[in-house]
A and B are shown apart, each in its own frame.
Chain A
Amino acid sequence: MILTQQLILGLLVGGLYGLAAAGLSLTFGVLRVLNVAHGELLMLGGYGAFWLFTLWRVDPFVSLLAIGPAMFVLGLLLYWALFQFVVKAHEEVRIKNSLLIGFGLTLVLHNLAIRLWTADERAVTTAYAGAVARIGALAIPLVRLTSLVLAFAILAVLHLFLTRARWGRAIRATAEDWEAATLMGIPVGKTYLLAFALGTALAGIAGGLVSVSYSISPSIGLEWTLKALIVVVLAGLGSLFGCFAGGILLGLAEATSVVFLGGPYREVVGLVLFLVILVVRPQGLFGGRA
C-alpha cells in the first residue's frame, strides 16, 4: 500500500521531470549546447506563477498562459545576448563554452532571485490545493494530477508543431544535420533561436507547475537541472515522448527507493541510473543511433 502510494506520487512528479527534460533536450539536440542554467529558468517560471498568484490572485494554471510567452521572449533575449556567440564555434567547443556561459548564468539568476525575493521557500497555495481523489486508502492529489495531464498535453502540442509545421520540421532538420539544413534554404540561426526560446518557455511552464504542487526557492535550479539531465540521458535525444516516459521512469525509481531504502536515497537513485545508462546504453532507452 505504501509502495503503491509512493509510486503514484512518483508518477505525478515524473511528468514534471519529463517536461523539464524536454526543454533541455530540445536545446541540446538542436543547438548542441548544454544549458546548465535550465533549472534556473525553471525557477524563474515558478516565481512568475508565485507572484502572479500572490499579487493579483491569478490562478497558477491560468498564469501559464502568460509565463510561457514571457519565458519565450526571455529565451530570445538570452540567445541573442549569450548563446548566439556559442553556436558559431565547432561542436566540441560549443559544449565547453556553453557550460561556462550556463554556469555564469546560473550564478547570476540564483543570486538575483535571492536578492529580489529572499532565499525563503515559497509555494502557490490555492483554495483547492489540498483536494485529493481517494481510491480506497490511496490518495491522488488533484493539483499534481492536473499538472501531469498538462505536462503531457504541452508536449503533445509541441510534438505536433515539430512534425507538422514548416518551422517545426526545420528545427528537426537542423538537429539532424545543420549543414544539410542550410542547403534546404533553412536559416539555421533562426531555428537555433526558435528552439532555444521554446526550450526556455518549456522550462518556465514546468516551473509554474512546480510552484503549484511543490515548492520553489532560489536554490532549486541545480536540482532540476540535474533531474532534467538524468532524464535526457535516460531517454536519449530526439524524442519528446521519450523524455516524458524517461521522466516518469525516474519518478517511479525514486519512489521505489524511498520505500525500500529510505528518503535520503531518493537523490542517489537517479544518479545511479544515470551512470548505469551511460555504461550500458549510452544512446538512451528511446534514442536512435548515437
Chain B
Amino acid sequence: MLEVENLEVSYGALAALHGVSLRVSPGEIVALVGPNGAGKSTLLKAIAGLMAARRGTIRWENKRLDTQPPERIVECGVALVPEGRRLFARMTVRENLELGAFTQRAQKERREQMDRVYTIFPRLREREQQPAGLLSGGEQQMLALGRALMGLPRLLLLDEPSLGLAPRVVESIFSILGELHRDGMSLLIVEQSVHAVLALAQRAYILEGGKIVGEGDGQSLLKDDHVRAAYLGPLARGGSA
C-alpha cells in the first residue's frame, strides 16, 4: 500500500503541490489525470525520491519513503518509468536492462528476470545489441518499462507512457500494463490519453493546480461531466465510455 499524506513540494519558492493525499492499494491500478502543470510529474518524482517533500509523508508498505534517497526507494520495490523514458541512449538494449537490475536485491534474479522481460517484449531480444537511442519510439517505451521491471518492483510509477506513440503501440503497452496488474503489480499512472487510462484504472485522481480536486473509480469519472468537458474533449462527448 502506497500512502501519500498532505504532501507539499516546491521548486525553489514556487509551490508545485499543496497538500496532496492519495492511496494505491496492493494490486491496484490508479490513474492520475489533470492539465499540464498540475503537478502530476512532480508527484511521481517526489514518490521516487527525485524531489524533496517540504511537508507531509510518503509511506510504502509501512516504510517512510520521503526520508530516503532515490536509490534506496528503488531497493524498496518502487520504480519510476520517467517522462521521456530517459534511456541510456548510447548503451545497448541489454546494458539498459542490466542497469535496471543494479540493486542487490535485483542482481540475484537478473538472469531469470531478463528472460521474463524478453518474453513480454520479444522485440527487445531481437534488438539486444543495438544502442537504445536507435530504437523506435514504441520500442523505447518497451525498453523503459522492461528496464524498470528488471528492478523487481511491486509498485510501478508511470509518467506519460503513451507520449508520442502511435495508437496501436499505446494499445499494446496498455494491455501489457493490464497483464502486470493481473500478476499482482500495483500501478500509478500519469497519462494524457485520459480515455485509455480511465478505462484501464480502477480508481483515478484528478490533480489541478497542485491539489486533488476529484477522485473516483475510472468508469464513473469517464461519465463525469467535468472530466468529460476538461479532459476528454468534444469527440468524447458523443462517444460511449
Q: Does A279 contact B (CB under 8 A)?
A: no
In the bound complex, residues from chain B placing their C-beta under 8 Å from that of A130 are none
The CA-CA distance from A288 to B147 in the complex, in Å, is 23
Known: A183-B80, A184-B147. A176 touches B90 (CB 8 A): yes
Q: Does A177 contact B (CB under 8 A)?
A: yes
CB nearest to A167 among chain B residues: B102
Known: A182-B71, A183-B80. A173 touches B99 (CB 8 A): yes
Q: Does B98 contact A (CB under 8 A)?
A: yes
In the bound complex, residues from chain B placing their C-beta under 8 Å from that of A183 are 48, 50, 70, 74, 79-80, 82, 86
Q: Does B35 contact A (CB under 8 A)?
A: no
Q: Does B89 contact A (CB under 8 A)?
A: yes
Known: A182-B50, A183-B48. A172 touches B91 (CB 8 A): yes
The answer to whether A184 and B82 touch across the interface, beta carbons within 8 angstroms, is no
In the bound complex, residues from chain B placing their C-beta under 8 Å from that of A180 are 82, 86-88
The CA-CA distance from A179 to B88 in the complex, in Å, is 11
Cβ distance B68 to chain A, nearest Cβ, rounded Å: 12
Q: Does A136 contact B (CB under 8 A)?
A: no
Cβ distance B22 to chain A, nearest Cβ, rounded Å: 21
The answer to whether B71 and A288 touch across the interface, beta carbons within 8 angstroms, is no
The CA-CA distance from A170 to B49 in the complex, in Å, is 19
Q: Does B39 contact A (CB under 8 A)?
A: no
Q: Which of A166, A170, A172, A185 contacts B75 (CB 8 A)?
A: A185
In the bound complex, residues from chain A placing their C-beta under 8 Å from that of B50 are 179, 182-183
B:169-223 near A, CB below 8 Å: none
The CA-CA distance from A170 to B107 in the complex, in Å, is 13
The answer to whether A185 and B80 touch across the interface, beta carbons within 8 angstroms, is no
The answer to whether B88 and A173 touch across the interface, beta carbons within 8 angstroms, is yes
Q: Does B138 contact A (CB under 8 A)?
A: no
The answer to whether A186 and B102 touch across the interface, beta carbons within 8 angstroms, is yes
Cβ distance A40 to chain B, nearest Cβ, rounded Å: 31
The CA-CA distance from A43 to B80 in the complex, in Å, is 45
Q: Looking at B98, B100, B102, which has the most chain A CB atoms within 10 Å of its CB?
A: B102
Known: A166-B107, A169-B99, A170-B102. A184 touches B87 (CB 8 A): no
Q: Does A60 contact B (CB under 8 A)?
A: no
Q: Does A263 contact B (CB under 8 A)?
A: no
In the bound complex, residues from chain A placing their C-beta under 8 Å from that of B89 are 176
Q: Looking at A177, A184, A188, A238, which has the most chain B CB atoms within 10 Å of its CB?
A: A184
Cβ distance A34 to chain B, nearest Cβ, rounded Å: 21
In the bound complex, residues from chain B placing their C-beta under 8 Å from that of A182 are 49-50, 69-71
In the bound complex, residues from chain B placing their C-beta under 8 Å from that of A169 are 91, 95, 98-99
Cβ distance B117 to chain A, nearest Cβ, rounded Å: 14
CB nearest to B151 among chain A residues: A185
A:141-182 near B, CB below 8 Å: 166, 169-170, 172-173, 176-177, 179-182
Mask, B91-125, CB within 8 Å of A = 1, is 10001001110110011000000000000000000
Cβ distance B196 to chain A, nearest Cβ, rounded Å: 24
In the bound complex, residues from chain A placing their C-beta under 8 Å from that of B71 are 182, 185-188
In the bound complex, residues from chain A placing their C-beta under 8 Å from that of B147 are 184
20 contacts between A and B (CB under 8 A): A166-B107, A172-B88, A172-B90, A173-B88, A173-B91, A173-B99, A176-B90, A176-B91, A179-B50, A182-B50, A182-B71, A183-B48, A183-B80, A183-B86, A184-B103, A185-B71, A185-B102, A186-B71, A186-B102, A188-B71
Closest 6 CB pairs of A and B: A185-B74, A185-B103, A180-B86, A182-B70, A185-B71, A176-B88
Binding site for B on A (CB under 8 A): 166, 169-170, 172-173, 176-177, 179-188, 238, 288
